[in-house]
Amino acid sequence: MKIIVDAMGGDNAPKAPVLGAIAAAQNYGVEIVLVGQSDRILECLREEGIDTLPPGVEIAFASEVYGMSEPPAKVLRAKDTSMMVGAKLLGNGGDAFVSAGNTGALLTVASVVAGRIKGIRRAALSPVCPTEKGQCVIVDAGANNECTPEYLLQFAFMGSFYAEKYLGIENPRVGLLNNGAEEEKGPELQKQTHQLLKKAGESGHLNFIGNIEARDVPLGGADVVVCDGYTGNIMIKSIEGTAIFMAHQLKAMFQKNLGTKIGYLLCKSGVNDFKKVLDSREVGGSMFLGVQKPVVKAHGSSDDYAMMNAIRQAKICVETGVCDAIAANMDKMTIPKTADEA
């Protein structure tokens, strides 16, 4: 298996992608192609006391770096960036692509260069979030601010296949994010989408459980949460902020006095387990569902551990055939065009 890694993407590049890729090659037995400026990659290795490329790791040269703050629309004109070269390598024999670079630019090159699955209207950013009952997939979490009911229908199916294949959840529960559980709740987009998902559920194609409110997401109310990118992005960042707040409060509580410090020592193992559940580095990144091959967007601030896990995530998606499952079921997630639209 050959996984392409953008060595120049992210706040900690090239160190984090390079070291994470080497660890992944050693731990997961995958072949890695590091894409970027060769001199900087090799210099990074020398700083770590590594004189030659480890087995299973190679470099593909790209002269330019696409900045984190540059407009995504310009990425297609930047022909020799590590992101563009990586996407081309993915289309020419690579099995998966991992980058911590500019999210919008990565979505663009993944959709246009690597290519969306035929019939998929929009690729969707699909992070995995911890819940009280395990994990859930949020789809979409920021790639598509304006959506149609058909987009959300496809998000539901793609998220369901992802939860089944990647997370190993049998018959995943699919919920539509809304401001109430009642069927008639929400704006017109949610009402129309609800009817499409309800029909898919009645046909046995989806395990649709109805609307779900944001407060029920961390409690494990659904395995797949369907939403437009604008709403999903706000929700997931609210969850992240709440997790950080809780971690800070927990730390302050245990540091309050001698008694609380002793209490911390007594429950240190449990606290560490709790912190691990909330640690986004353990997941690695967010999958762009709808692209022909797995494309994983690692967090911009990813360190080498997070990058290693993002590569592991890409490996599992290749092995379990997430993209193949989506492509094989397009007939279930496409709304036939009317005579006026044809």
**Which residue bears the tokens 């997961």?**
28
- How far apart CA 296 and CA 126 sit, in angstroms, is 9
pLDDT at 127: 92
DSSP code of 33? E
In this structure, are residues 23 and 115 in contact, taking their beta carbons and an 8 Å threshold? no
CA–CA distances in Å: residue 215 to residues 12, 55, 228, 283, 335: 34, 47, 17, 22, 31
Return the pLDDT at 208: 97
Would you state the pLDDT for residue 243?
80
Selection from 82, 109, 112, 76 nearest residue 4 by Cα:
82
Determine the 3-state secondary structure of 167 from DSSP.
Answer: coil
Please state at what angle helix 15-28 crosses helix 38-47, rounded to 10 degrees. 70
Instruction: Report the helix count and the strand count for the chain, using DSSP H and E.
Output: 11, 12
| pTM (two decimals) | 0.89
Residue type for 294, please? Answer: P
pLDDT of residue 79: 83
Which pLDDT belongs to residue 342? 37
Strands (E), the chain: 2-6, 31-36, 57-61, 96-99, 124-126, 128-131, 134-139, 173-177, 207-212, 224-226, 285-289, 295-298
CA distance 35 to 186: 45
Query: Which DSSP symbol is given to 98?
Result: E
| pLDDT for residue 261 | 75
Three-state secondary structure call for residue 11: coil
* Domains of the chain and CATH, by start: 1-120+290-342 (3.40.718.10), 124-280 (3.40.718.10)
> pLDDT tens track of the chain, all 342 residues?
999 999 999 999 999 999 999 999 999 999 999 999 999 999 999 998 988 888 999 999 999 988 888 888 788 887 899 999 999 999 899 999 999 999 999 999 999 888 999 999 999 999 998 899 999 999 999 899 999 999 999 999 999 999 999 999 999 999 999 998 888 888 999 999 999 999 999 999 999 999 999 999 999 999 999 999 999 999 988 888 888 887 788 788 888 888 777 776 767 676 665 556 556 667 778 999 999 999 999 999 899 999 999 999 999 999 999 999 999 999 988 876 643 343
Cβ atoms of residues 201 and 261 within 8 Å: no
Query: What sign results for the dihedral spanned by CA atoms 7, 321, 140, 303?
Result: negative
Structure tokens at 76: 């297609």
**pLDDT value for 268:** 67
